[in-house]
Structures are given as structure tokens and as C-alpha cells.
Structure 1
Amino acid sequence: MATKTEPGNYFEDFTLGQQIVHATPRTVTDGDIALYTALYGSRFAACSAQTFARDLGYPRMPADSLLAFHLVFGKTVPDISLNAVANLGYAGGRFGAPVYPGDTVTTTSEVIGLKPNSSGKNGNVYVRSIGRNQDDDVVLDYIRWVMVNRREPVSEVGEASIPDLPGAVPADELVVPFDLPNGYDERMQTLAGSAHLWGDYEVGEQIDHVDGMTIEESDHMLATRLYQNTAKVHFNQFMQKDSKIGRRLIYGGHIISLARSLSFNGLANAHAIAAINAGAHCNPTFAGDTIHAWSQVLEKMELPGRSDVGALRLRTVATKDLPCSDFPYRGEDGKYLPNVVLDFDYTVLMPR
């Protein structure tokens, strides 16, 4: 008798050039935004206050850039990473149209690379995923790669096809969704929580975001359900107890959002994320870990035709159970320190 359930794709089910239309469109609500705030405590004013968003030139208050990322990402999980070992990295991510309550997000993906691992037990799948709203406007276009289990181990692993990954998204390809129609005066800086604007930051500058946030089991479970992320490594302790680690892993995107929220203390005027240039989940994270973060300014970019807004390319590093006053990153061997859990290269938009 044929089964009616879907087991998810294993590594051998993917083919180069494969096009996937992901199920379950998602209409964004005010409730999604409230739950996102409850999970991460994000204080960026553009995604917290309708009045502030309008003063920035938005027609109304948008969803946080990373909430849009999670919703686009979550659509892909049942087809791409249901049987994943771990999500490994990101590249070439460009945010487009802002997401507002009432918008409906759908996602499609293309398999752009396959790398069988020598163990014969799994392999890395590279996909380009595009999220669109109900008007077919691109919300997010990004690449990620994920290690996916095989259905059965093999002795002959086959050839790899690894794509050329793009570098940092250049300034002339960034979408700026706000236009500061009345400028950005002292009142708005006060409401935003900082007087430090684009011109106050220097390339190479490092910022310890000071605060820490402990992850509870309820936090990451609620988050993954909010994004409809069904990956077994996050949900199924019955299965995970027999794994090498023996515990459920925290969804890597949860750490990205925690780090972004913590970065408010030092980058309060970074009102939107324009690009995800690269990223790595360096070590696993579990419930009970306390996340800290620090950032470094990698590049300052003027935007073509814009004197009101500039872009900062940042590296934000998140740690577990390790404050960041001395900016922990890599050891003398070049490897990430064991308490470093995220190395995230992204571009934010900030008033000048």
C-alpha cells in the first residue's frame, strides 16, 4: 500500500538544476510581528512604531528584515532540510520589497550545487531560494547550503559540483526601502535610541554589544513553529537522543535574530538589513546557552544617488556563554573558538 506521507528529500533525491515550488504560502499578520518581538526583544524603531516608520518614508510599519528571512527560509525546510544534519552557510542574499502585515509570502528554490561527503552518509546541498509577495515582488533572494543525510550510506560517493559563490553584495545592487522625506533630526535620533549615524562609524571599528540573552527551550521551539520550520534536528528529541550530540539543535536563524537584537546596543540606527553577504554557523547551540555578540565595521558604502542614507557592511559574531569584551573570534590555528556560534557578514542601512 502506497504511503500518503512525505518523508522529505534525502541527499540522493536532489539533482542539479532542480526547481522546487515550496508549499504553504504564508500571510503575515500583526501577530507574527508581536511574537517576533516577544522572542527577541528587538528595539529597532522602524519595526516597532508606525509613526517612526512613516517618518522614515515607509508607507506603514514593516516586518523586521529577519522575520521576512525566517518566513522565506521556513517554506524551504520540508523540501530542502527536513533530513538535515546542519545548515552550514549563506551567500549573496539581497532583500527587496519590505514585508508588511497582510502580505503573502511564497518561496521557490533551485538546486545549484551538490557535494557528496566522503563518509558516504550525507552530502551538502546548495540552493538559491527566492521569496516573493502576492504582487510577485522579490522579498529576498539568497543562497544557502545545508548538510543532508542520505537515505542509506554508500561506499561510492560520486562527483561534487560546487557553485561559485558570490562575494559581498555591491552598493549599486542594494535596495533602499525608505527615503527620509523630512531628514533625520535630533528628535528621530532620540526616538531611535542613538545619536550615532553612518558618518560616526569607522572601518575596522569593533563594538561589544554588552548584553546577553539566555535561550530557553520554549523560545526556540516557539520560533521554529512560528516560521513553520519542520527540521527534525530542532523538533524531535526522540530522534535526536540517538544522535552524536544527543540533543535538539537550536535553529541557526534563531541565533542570527538574537545577535541582531543584541546589536541594537551600539547600532540602534541600523534600521534595515539590505544584504546577507556570507555567514557560518560555527558551533552548535542548545537551550540554556547565553548568547552575546560583537560587531566589526568591514566597509562603509555610499549609495548611488543617495545623500540621506549610507550602508555599513558588518561582521557580527555571536558567542555562547562567553562575553565579548575582548572580541573572541578565531584561535591561533585559524579555527573558530569553541564558544563562537555565528559569523555573520551582512549590510545594514543607516541615516547619514
Structure 2
Amino acid sequence: MKTNPGRFFEDYTLGETIVHAVPRTVSGGERALYHALYPARGALYSSDAFARGCGLPAAPMDDLIAFHVVFGKTVPDISLNAVANLGYAEGRWLAPVYAGDTLRSESTVIGLKENSNGKSGVVYVRTRGINQRDEAVLEYVRWVMVKKARLEAPAPAAVVPSLAPVVQPEALVLPEELDFSRYDFALAGERHRFADYAVGERIDHVDGVTVEEADHLMATRLWQNTSKVHFDVTQREDGRRLIYGGHVISLARALSFNGLANAQMIVALNGGAHANPCFAGDTVRAWSEVLDRAETATPGVGALRLRLVAVKDGAAPFGLKGADGKYLPEVLLDLDYWALVPV
């Protein structure tokens, strides 16, 4: 048999490392497509001149381009037969990615737990994105619910990894050459700096974007994400394509420009949950909460820990969970990350 139906839950072994196929060289075309798909306007990613003013050799790729490329490589081996991508932890961006870089991915299975229904299980993996110089540019943990193909296959011993609830500020990796001491607030689009944000502050990002089937499919193909639930309507009982969670992340991040235009670089992903499914026709809006602040040793640079929440349609801002502790049905995404801002 030459074709590959993808891995099912019973096909994973604790501790194995999977080298994912098809490295990807990213280019300026990647950036242009990303900015066409999302209302992304971060000055650091849009202008070589602005990036040089911040000490970088050129405008890097948007951080989420690196994430989507690295993530997409893993899908044929990790989540081709997924029911849902459940969460993220311990994510760190370790080096900027520039046009011309080639990215590949490797994942290590760090946890397995069969579900009580015996039809699926949760697979935990730690993934690393690696460039053409064998340098790690990104690492993160994610866990995925994956179908079983053979229901009679014995359940593995349950191993659920202990994961840090937050990447500590001292573990953040900042580009050595980064320098915000001559940061141009006028060109960036907002005057707000590190000291202007208070822990507990909430920001309604105001704008919304209605998800189109064509945009979602283009994005999923762009990142070479082959998960069946995003393409094949027969994979879900309701006959609907599930919007790729990364598409929602990028939409919400782009919408957060209005209020967080100077949150220029994502350097860590503390946690995240795709709380409810998103489908074509849903209108995505976003709000943020400042969870923490940290100074850095890099000139002119501070770090904000932010909660980014994506909601759909006419949801009121700042709603998250009900009295039962469960996410409200209109909440699509709850993402906890660190971003760099000028002081």
C-alpha cells in the first residue's frame, strides 16, 4: 500500500520523535498572502526601514507565519485524523524568521491518554521548528484529540505531561540586535507604550471580520495543513468544514492592532484553547486583557503578557466563561501570550 491514511491514536508511542516531511522556504510572497488574508498592519513586519530602525537587519516574517508553517508540517503526522486541536503550552519564539529561510519541523510524543469512550484519545507533542542552519526558531507543546481506527486496540498507560502554566519572563528569548530606544510611534500607528498598560486592563478591539470559506481554504492550503476536517465535509456529522484554529488566531491577532499596535513581536505562547468551533459566515471580533508586565534587559523593550479572546457575531465584549466555569458558546479562542512593546 503506497498511500498513507495518517496516524490514529493507537499508532503513537510515548517518547518517539517524528521528523515531519516537506521543508518550506518562506518568501516575501508568504508575507503578502498573509497580509491579504488578515488585516495585519504591524509596522515591524511591514517595513524593512522600520525594522532596521529597531535594530533588525530587515522586516522579519510575522511571528504567526512561522507558527503556521511549523504547525502545518506536523498535521499529516499528528492531526490528520484529529477530532479537535485542544490546547497549547510552553511556546517560545527563539529566533526571527526572514524571507529566504527554510523551516522544517520535528515533534516528540510526550503524553498519551485514551478517552473513556474508547473511540479516541489525546496525544501530547512537543514540536520544534528548525531553520536551514539547524537553529531552533520556535518550540511549543500542543495536545490533540485523535480518532482510533481499531477500537479493540489496547489503551496505552495514561501519561499526561506536567506543563508550566506560563513561560516565565526570564525564559523569554529576545533577538540580540533588537533595540526599541529609537522607536517611531508615529509610523507604528499608536502612541501607547509599556507604561500605558496596566495589569487587569481590558481592551475592546472594536472591529470585526466575517470568515469566508474561500479565505479559510486558501489559508489552510497556504500552510499545507492537510487536516481532513478543514476540507472534507464528510468528516463531520453536521457536514460543515471546521475553520482552522490558526486562522482564528491570526484574525484575532490582526484585529488587536487597534489598541495594541505597538505589541510588535510575539515571544511566547503560555496557553491557548479553541473554545468553540468556527464556521464560514461567523464574524470574528476580539478583545484583550493585560495579565502581567515584565521589564527586559533589551534597550527600550518591555514585555506584556496578554490574553487574546476571539468571539463570534454579536457577542458582548469581555465575556469569557459562565457561572459553570465553561466557555460561553460565542467564545472561539482564549490565547495567553507574551509580546514585546516599546518602553
Considering the TM-score relative to the shorter chain, is it more than 0.5? yes
Which residue of 1 is the match for residue 89 of structure 2? 91
Give per-residue Cα distances to partners, 1:59-94, cap 9 Å, x unaligned.
011100001000000000000000001100000000
User: Contact (CA 8 Å) 2:114, 2:155: kept in 1 or not?
Assistant: yes
Q: TM-score, length-normalised on structure 2?
A: 0.97
Q: Secondary structure, in 3 states, of the residue corresponding to 2:129?
A: strand
Which residue of 1 is the match for residue 228 of structure 2? 232
Give per-residue Cα distances to partners, 1:169-221, cap 9 Å, x unaligned.
11111111265557235xx1011010000111000000000000010000110
Which residue of 1 is the match for residue 64 of structure 2? 66
Q: Secondary structure, in 3 states, of the residue corresponding to 2:181?
A: coil
User: Contact (CA 8 Å) 1:198, 1:311: kept in 2 or not?
Assistant: yes
Which residue of 2 is the match for residue 10 of structure 1? 8
Shift of 1:246: 2.3
The answer to whether the aligner puts 1:317 opposite 2:313 as a matched pair is: no
* CA–CA separation in structure 2 for the residues paired with 1:333 and 1:149: 28
Shift of 1:138: 1.1
Q: Counterpart of 1:87 in structure 2: which amino acid?
A: N
* CA–CA separation in structure 2 for the residues paired with 1:178 and 1:67: 21
Equivalent position to 1:341, from 332, 337, 342: 332
Give per-residue Cα distances to partners, 1:238-259, cap 9 Å, x unaligned.
x23xx33321100111111011
Equivalent position to 1:268, from 261, 264, 281: 261
Equivalent position to 2:77, from 72, 75, 79: 79
Which residue of 1 is the match for residue 197 of structure 2? 201
Equivalent position to 1:296, from 289, 298, 301: 289
User: Contact (CA 8 Å) 1:208, 1:324: kept in 2 or not?
Assistant: no
Q: Counterpart of 1:320 in structure 2: which amino acid?
A: K
Q: Counterpart of 1:64 in structure 2: which amino acid?
A: D
* CA–CA separation in structure 2 for the residues paired with 1:207 and 1:332: 23
Which residue of 2 is the match for residue 351 of structure 1? 342
Q: How many residues align?
A: 343
Shift of 1:167: 2.2
Give per-residue Cα distances to partners, 1:30-80, cap 9 Å, x unaligned.
111100000002000001111111111110111000010000000000000
* CA–CA separation in structure 1 for the residues paired with 2:91 and 2:314: 29
User: Contact (CA 8 Å) 2:179, 2:301: kept in 1 or not?
Assistant: no
Q: TM-score, length-normalised on structure 1?
A: 0.95
Shift of 1:306: 3.0
Shift of 1:29: 1.0
Shift of 1:159: 3.4
- Greater shift in the superposed pair: 263-272 or 166-175: 166-175
* CA–CA separation in structure 2 for the residues paired with 1:291 and 1:178: 36
Q: Counterpart of 2:21 in structure 1: which amino acid?
A: A
* CA–CA separation in structure 2 for the residues paired with 1:33 and 1:313: 25
* CA–CA separation in structure 2 for the residues paired with 1:182 and 1:315: 23
The answer to whether the aligner puts 1:218 opposite 2:214 as a matched pair is: yes
Unaligned runs of 5+ residues in structure 2 are none
Q: Counterpart of 2:327 in structure 1: which amino acid?
A: Y
User: Contact (CA 8 Å) 1:47, 1:61: kept in 2 or not?
Assistant: yes
User: Contact (CA 8 Å) 1:118, 1:157: kept in 2 or not?
Assistant: no
